[in-house]
Chain A
Amino acid sequence: MSRTRQRKIKLSIITVVGIIAIIYALFPVVWILSASLDPSNSLATQRFIPSNASLKNFVEILSDPVNPYLHWMLNSLKISSITSILTVFITSLGAYAFSRFRFRGRRSLLGTILLVQVFPNMLAVVALFLIIQQIGHYIPSMGLNSHGGLILVYLGGSLGGNVWLMKGFFDSIPRDLDEAAVIDGASHWQAFRYVILPLVQPMLVVIGILTFIGTYGDVILARVLLKSAEQYTLAIGLWMYIQGWYTVKWGLFAAGALMGAIPVLILFYLLQDLIVSGLIQGAVKG
């Protein structure tokens, strides 16, 4: 088989698989886009190309005074940004220790972090509810129905699977770099801050984005801890809004869902190159 022919076959396979994959990935998104533009608002009568497309659903969901969509979105952005920044900070500190120091309890601590990850935490919400209620008794801004309390709970998971991911990445950076800095009189903190952190920037972005997506989409904890519509995140607000009604509020749901995905989309695609290069470097050893 000649090289060019082989190339042609390969290219056609890639094209076919690519087209199938793209249709599969895009279909629900296009479908929800069409639903959001269809003013009939019903799952049953929706066509692929709505007959009288309009922005009615978008206008309606944005102007509903009982369900402050934009306010929810701001809440979500605030909570997710704070959580992901703090998580990146806590995770990178932990990963640095696991990667650079050899100390008693290191292996068992890594093992514990792993095992804790597989605990089915469906019932943990009962305990989390109680503890946040108790904390809120003294510090109301960290209690029930507060964003502070919710962020506190999200941060509880910051020393989780991400530490493993980040530790692997730190391992890939030659130790000579920070050791040289330490020998030259830098503290470990300085070596970490000025030598290591700039090198692991892509990985910080990856962890940050993963955390952001996870927090932004959480419905379980937010639903238990937040009580008033004023404090809702977008996920929980939209969830309560459509709950049980989504076949008759289909178009509104679609419009809300589409706009809700936009912040994550923008963030993700702005940082896409960094994310991919972060994951690539994460897999490199030494």
Chain B
Amino acid sequence: MSQKRGLGGKPSFFFSLGARSIKRLLAPLSDALPRIVFRLTCLAILDGFALWFFWKTVIDGIWFLAAAIAIITLGINVIFLREDLHPFRWLAPGLALMLLMVIYPIAYTIYTAFTNYSDTNLLTKQQAISAIEKEVYLPEGGISYKWTAFRSSEGKFIIWLISEDGQMLLAKPEEPIQHSPQNNPDVGTLDQENIPLTIKGYQRLSRIESVRYLQELSDIEFGLPPDTITIRSLDVAAQYERRYHFDRLKDAIIDLETGETYRAVEGTFTSSSGITLSPSFHAPIGWRNFYRLFAGVAIQGPLFRVFIWTIEFAFLAVFTTFAFGLLLAVLFNDPVIHPSYRKAIRSILLLPYVIPFYLSILTWRGMMNPHVGIINKILESLIKFSPPWLSDPGWAKAGILLINLWLGFPYMLLITTGALQAIPSEINDAAEIDGASEWQRFWYITLPLLLISVGPLLIFSFAFNFNNFNVIYLFNSGGPPMPNTPSPVGHTDILISYSFRLAFEGGRGGDYGFASAITIIIFIVLAIITLFQFRYARIWEELSENV
């Protein structure tokens, strides 16, 4: 019945009119007017701000942000102007933030998976082209000049140039070269060699002074790139020329010195004979990353073993924390215990949950140090055995589960305590009267009821542990290492830390494209597992039923 009623406030309000007085009808309507005005005002302010932001981003060519602002603003306007979309008004702030901070990074990761984005390809194509176009060369028969340097009191230089045919030029670093500088009012009278005696703000250098500054001077590029003049010797300065030109129509870079054509091949401009220009840029490379993953790493590498351990770890992590948390919850929920004790014990047991996880993991790592850690010292003195937590695969896995149990059981204790106290005691009482033992009651009544209410949380917990990078990486960085693997991998590495290593510790710097490809595969695997679990737990059915 409430399926229909749930459609919104307005219909049910009007349907209920019949029996109500006129006064009742008018009151909410006059209430509604200020609300509508308020809503429209807010919308106008938001739109104004969004328009300003949108305009700025469009001018600067930041297309993604511009598109995001446009979509979000349009969406909010539609939602708030159309009455039938009113449920979305409640979701608008969350959805806008989710779009920007969650969905966009996912889309970006998917895009990156199909590119060769890496530490050596950080630039975009446009950035790479302008970097390459800045390069210059010194032509064989280029024009050469006689030069005279001037120096300002701050140590800045300017040079006066005279070509062989008597042309005069004035050049400063990072500024266009001035032609016919003798007309410049800053330039004083010329001597018999056509060199000015003074230039405003600068001191003319004698030949001896020029020798002193020669090293410094020959490092300077005078003029604005790519048209620059450089001092080559005490007597000669010569003009460099721009070496490369990007031909937009051919989508290729032409070498103006040799005439060679460089075409963009997967992020690097390459000539027909295979010579490449640097820097490279990131470019789409199709399914290459996935191919590399499945044909290369998956077959040669220990991917399967890593995958199995990931499943084991995620399952054991959920199981141990849940079992221990539930055990404690059941025991301390027992009426035998005085309520004030119960609260005190619970306070202590919840302690691990409130300490920031990275502090806890590092503390555990220190305590489990095989040589100086307190746990090993105690075990050594008690049972003459010190577990090799860091070097033996089995013990390393046990150590990780032990730490994870410590980190995770308080949460499970909290939620199972909540769920236990919510189970109506009549059910248990009835079973007790029917002669069920305490164990039977727990196993056949309490546990199934409990699993229904905490089921979704357990599935979330499984997904979280599947990608629990922190505990794996902070404890032992995935170690101890497996021998004879093509790329470094450890016995305790799970998929996410393995992909982190492949992508960032593979000796080639950060390979974001490849890492993104692995991320997507992990996501697909995990999504299938999660959806399957949800189906199994019949949570979708409950979703559509509960009203």
Contacts A97-B91, A117-B463 given; does A185 touch B8 at CB 8 Å: no
In the complex, are the beta carbons of B331 and A17 less than 8 A apart? yes
Q: Which B residue's beta carbon lies closest to that of A213? A: B354
Contacts A14-B336, A119-B106, A280-B421 given; does A94 touch B91 at CB 8 Å: yes
In the complex, are the beta carbons of A261 and B355 less than 8 A apart? yes
A-B contacts, CB under 8 A, total: 288
In the complex, are the beta carbons of B357 and A217 less than 8 A apart? yes
- Complex CA distance for A123 and B2, rounded to whole angstroms: 43
A54-62, A63-71, A132-140: which one contacts chain B? Answer: A132-140
B60 part of interface (Cβ distance < 8 Å): yes
In the complex, are the beta carbons of B359 and A246 less than 8 A apart? no
In the complex, are the beta carbons of A283 and B418 less than 8 A apart? yes
CB distance from B374 to the nearest CB of A (A): 6
In the complex, are the beta carbons of B88 and A97 less than 8 A apart? yes
A11 part of interface (Cβ distance < 8 Å): yes
- Complex CA distance for A252 and B354, rounded to whole angstroms: 20
A146 part of interface (Cβ distance < 8 Å): no
- Complex CA distance for A73 and B343, rounded to whole angstroms: 29
In the complex, are the beta carbons of B527 and A269 less than 8 A apart? no
CB distance from B164 to the nearest CB of A (A): 49
In the complex, are the beta carbons of A91 and B523 less than 8 A apart? no
- Complex CA distance for A248 and B463, rounded to whole angstroms: 36
In the complex, are the beta carbons of B104 and A187 less than 8 A apart? no
- Complex CA distance for A281 and B415, rounded to whole angstroms: 11
Q: Which of B346-370 contact A (CB under 8 A)?
A: 346-360, 362-364, 366-367, 369
Instruction: Give the contacting residue for B363; candidates A13, A32, A164; CB below 8 A.
Output: A32
In the complex, are the beta carbons of A93 and B358 less than 8 A apart? no
Residues of A within 8 A of B88 (CB): 97, 103
Contacts A26-B348, A157-B102 given; does A122 touch B421 at CB 8 Å: no
In the complex, are the beta carbons of B356 and A159 less than 8 A apart? no
Instruction: Give the contacting residue for A276; candidates B28, B53, B417; CB below 8 A.
Output: B417
Q: Which of B104-139 contact A (CB under 8 A)?
A: 104-106, 108-109, 112
Interface SS of B by simple majority: helix
Residues of B within 8 A of A106 (CB): 87
In the complex, are the beta carbons of A7 and B336 less than 8 A apart? yes
In the complex, are the beta carbons of A119 and B24 less than 8 A apart? no
- Complex CA distance for A46 and B366, rounded to whole angstroms: 11
B534 part of interface (Cβ distance < 8 Å): yes
Residues of A within 8 A of B106 (CB): 116, 119, 124
Contacts A182-B13, A280-B418 given; does A158 touch B334 at CB 8 Å: no
In the complex, are the beta carbons of B523 and A131 less than 8 A apart? no
B90 part of interface (Cβ distance < 8 Å): yes
In the complex, are the beta carbons of A17 and B422 less than 8 A apart? no
- Complex CA distance for A163 and B112, rounded to whole angstroms: 30
In the complex, are the beta carbons of A28 and B367 less than 8 A apart? yes
In the complex, are the beta carbons of A134 and B352 less than 8 A apart? no
In the complex, are the beta carbons of B546 and A116 less than 8 A apart? no
In the complex, are the beta carbons of B6 and A102 less than 8 A apart? yes
CB-CB contacts of A243-261 with B at 8 A, as 1s and 0s? 0001100100110010011
In the complex, are the beta carbons of A156 and B358 less than 8 A apart? no
A82 part of interface (Cβ distance < 8 Å): no
In the complex, are the beta carbons of A26 and B65 less than 8 A apart? no
Residues of A within 8 A of B94 (CB): 90-91, 93-94, 158-159, 163
Instruction: Give the contacting residue for A28; candidates B327, B334, B360; CB below 8 A.
Output: B360
Q: Which of B411-463 contact A (CB under 8 A)?
A: 414-415, 417-419, 421-422, 453-454, 456-457, 460, 463
17 contacting pairs across A/B (C-beta < 8 A): A7-B336, A10-B336, A14-B332, A18-B345, A107-B544, A120-B522, A120-B523, A123-B105, A127-B108, A137-B62, A157-B98, A185-B27, A238-B359, A253-B362, A269-B347, A280-B418, A281-B422
Residues of B whose CB lies within 8 Å of any CB of A are 2-3, 5-9, 12-13, 16, 24, 27-28, 31, 35, 53, 56-57, 60, 62, 64-65, 85-91, 93-95, 97-98, 100-106, 108-109, 112, 324, 327-328, 331-332, 334, 336-337, 343, 345-360, 362-364, 366-367, 369, 371-374, 406, 410, 414-415, 417-419, 421-422, 453-454, 456-457, 460, 463, 466-467, 469, 496, 499-500, 512, 515-516, 519, 522-523, 526-527, 530-531, 534, 540, 543-544, 546-547
